Amino acid sequence: MTIARKSLAWLVVLALFALGGCANVPKQAYNRAANQDIKRVAILKPPVIKEFVVQNFGHPGMAFGLIGGLIAAADMSSKTGDFTTKMKTFNFDPGAEFTAKLAEELRACGYEVSVLEVARPKPEILKSYDGLDAAPDAYIDVVLNWSGYFTSSPTADYVPAMRALVRVVRRQSKEIAYQELINYGYEMRVGQSINLTAEGKYNFGNFSALMADPDRALEGMRYGIPLIARQVGRDLAPEGYVAPPLLATPATGTRPATLQPVSQPAAPSAPAAGAQPQETVLKPQ
């Protein structure tokens, strides 16, 4: 691929990041009462992250039209390549580590958990769940949209960035019982997405500092994996389960995560005589 074509491709990627990515994903809170029959779940192994992305959303080149945009895209592509090469020396696999942590959290909640290998034509959430293992009551589909370091301007710190899209699909009905976007580190708020903060010690003043301390850079990304897994565990915890707290120190420029306590849902009011109960149900698109 020529430099020009690669830069154009990165301009498209940057536009998707700027739009927040996954902006059309509707949130579906988990209804514990309606889904209390779900006991066995299968985590669908997420696609492998091939690049550890470095993004500067306030790159000076973006202010100078197409040519400036191409220069900015080439710069960010180069930084992403260098950072990815550095991180690959650690054999860091965020998807595998997240799968293991999520399984741990769900087992602590009382679920029977398995992990399934699935074919993904693209590194995205599945469009169909037909033909998968019939043993679990529900599938947990997971995609890590990105992992890396983002900054808002040339003078701002690089902050760890990771995003997970998590969906729970009932096996028999294919109803979506839960769907959530969870960000860690750099705040890219989309709709009602959850934002978890990274510790300030994982911020880097510039790209040179990021590259000069790969151990701390790796630790900054890795720190978000158990936080996201615990958030999902809290969301899916059955009635009566007392979830452990999330431990995270707010990072500069991000908001502290707001977590809802696990509580007993209010009893539904009795329907009028002859009325049929109604419930909003999401189906995979």
CATH number at residue 217: 3.30.160.150
Using CA atoms, how far apart are residues 114 and 205, in angstroms rounded to an integer? 41
C-alpha of 247 from chain center: 18
Residue 242: inside a domain: no
Q: Give the pLDDT confidence score for residue 73 in this predicted structure.
A: 75
Total domains in the chain come to 1
Q: Which domain holds residue 200?
A: 3-16+26-236
> Letter for the amino acid at 116?
L
* Total-model pTM: 0.77
Q: Give the pLDDT confidence score for residue 70 in this predicted structure.
A: 66
Using CA atoms, how far apart are residues 47 and 95, in angstroms rounded to an integer? 7
Q: Give the pLDDT confidence score for residue 76 in this predicted structure.
A: 83
Q: Give the pLDDT confidence score for residue 67 in this predicted structure.
A: 60
Residue 164: inside a domain: yes
pLDDT tens over the chain, length 285 residues: 454 444 444 444 444 454 445 556 789 999 999 999 999 999 999 999 999 999 988 755 555 455 655 656 787 889 999 999 999 999 999 999 999 999 999 999 999 999 999 999 888 999 999 999 999 999 999 999 999 999 988 899 999 999 999 999 999 999 999 999 999 999 877 677 899 999 999 999 999 999 999 999 999 999 999 999 999 999 999 887 776 766 543 333 333 333 333 333 344 344 444 444 443 445 454
Task: Give me 50's structure tokens.
Answer: 């091939």
**DSSP-assigned states of every residue in the chain:** --HHHHHHHHHHHHHHHHTTSSTT---B---TTTTTT--EEEEEPPPPP---EEEETT-GGGGSHHHHHHHHHHHHHHHHHHHHHHHHTTT--HHHHHHHHHHHHHHHTT-EEEEE----SSSS--S--TTS-SSSSEEEEEEEEEEEEEESSTTSPBEEEEEEEEEEEETTT--EEEEEEEEEES----TT-EEEPPPGGG-BSSHHHHHH-HHHHHHHHHTHHHHHHHHHHHHHPPTT--PPPP--PPPTTSPPPP-PPP-PPPPPPPPPTTPPP----B---
Q: Give the pLDDT confidence score for residue 69 in this predicted structure.
A: 57
